[in-house]
Amino acid sequence: MLKVLKEANINNKIVLLRLDLNVPISQNKIVSNFRIIKSIPTIEHLIKNNNKIVILSHLGRPKEGEVDEKYSLKPVSLYLSEKIKKNIIFEKNWIDGVDFKDSNIIMCENVRFQNGEKLNSSELSRKISLLGDLFVFDAFGVSHRKESSAYGLIDLMDSYAGQLLENEINNALMMISNPVNPLTTIISGAKISTKITLISKLLNKSSHLILGGGILNTFLFALGHNIGTSLFESDYVDEAKKIIKHKDFKKLIIPIDVVCSNNSSFDNPQTKPISMVQSDDKILDIGAKSIDKYVDIIKKSSTVFWNGPLGYVEQDPYDTGTVKIAKAIAISNCYSMVGGGDTIPIIEKLSLIDNFSYLSTGGGALLKFIEGKELPILKKLGAYT
Ligand code: 3PG
Ligand code: MG
């Protein structure tokens, strides 16, 4: 049984709280506040019970042992402080001890600046454990990692799952064990290598599996289509061919038409049937006919699981397919679950956050969970027993 904070009677303690505050930041401004907002209930619960909190988190993938301001959590600490209307002390140098002064909350600078974090150094975990009385893990997004400030602390301290984590597990379990059929899954992203097992697992469960991005291109290549200069993974063409031979392959949906460009500034979008892609074309989005087909599939679905944008959303108009699919899911009556760092900011930008059934803070962690892999941290917290 998952050991949950909610059922423990924790008062007047110093709690080490591991969050996933790895959010996109541009010019010191938070671009997506989703993970921050989702972390607030556990913080408020701890404060209500007279605890003091030391918040630990990573941000990005900085070089260990160096401080790089680009990866500082300072903007996150200011943002969170404003949101919860409480003073938060931001500690740049925290590893040898912290000082709460007149506050109840401390946020430590990026744990990935510390030597040993990524390799789960036990010495680093030991030092971190000295900063508090017990440990609350609420960083679902790193449940699949073995790092000192998360996995490494669990054996050293009395440890609990926070509210965000509990919620994530309950929703992901529902998606794995009890999705109401028909289930449509949309899997997109640059690399097929990280999602190949997931795709074969989901192909069994789903009525339709829509592919996008570099993953789709690898499949198109494996099917013998000309994909021009589009991104794909040549090392995984054989894996894609194996899936093509899968008995459920017909459930795999590929586009009728695509939007391409054949110049480096991508300023000449051209929609063409999939069979008309030329050797100098780059596929950057799905075309109008494909959008109609996908929208129709979504309308007939009872459950939709979506991971990854369907086109090059960074540049207009190649976000069209993704935006229309997001809107179609938002207005449908299906149970909709979305995961992955790239998809949620788009939904936020369209102000559709409240129109989805469940948005997960997890990226890789969620996909591994859905794939049926045991996530090391969840295992330690009792989620599988
Ligand atoms: C994520 O965004 O996927 C999580 O914050 C984990 O980050 P990581 O993939 O760099 O470990
Ligand atoms: Mg990740």
pLDDT, tens digit (0-9, with 9 covering 90-100), for 102-157:
999 999 999 999 999 999 999 999 999 999 999 999 999 999 999 999 999 999 99
Retrieve residue 64's tokens.
Answer: 């260990």
**Res. 340: pLDDT tops 90:** no
- Asked whether 341 lines ligand 1 (CB < 6 A), one says yes
What CA–CA distance (Å, rounded) separates 132 from 98? 10
**DSSP helix/strand/coil, 9:** coil
Residue 286 has pLDDT above 90, yes or no: yes
Return the residue whose CA atom lies nearest to atom 4 of ligand 1.
141
Residue % of the chain over a pLDDT of 70: 100
**What pLDDT shows up at residue 190?**
81
Question: Of 20, 23, 34, 36, which is best to mutate to test ligand 1, by the most ligand atoms within 8 angstroms of its C-beta?
Answer: 20
What φ, ψ does residue 312 adopt, rounded to 5°?
-85, 80
Q: Across-strand partners of 254?
A: none
Interaxial angle between packed helices 74-84 and 34-48, expressed in degrees from 0 to 180 and rounded to the nearest 10: 60
- Indicate the pLDDT class of residue 11, thresholds 50, 70 and 90: very high
pLDDT tens per residue across span 85-103: 999 999 999 999 999 999 9
Under the banding of pLDDT at 50, 70 and 90, the label for residue 223 is very high
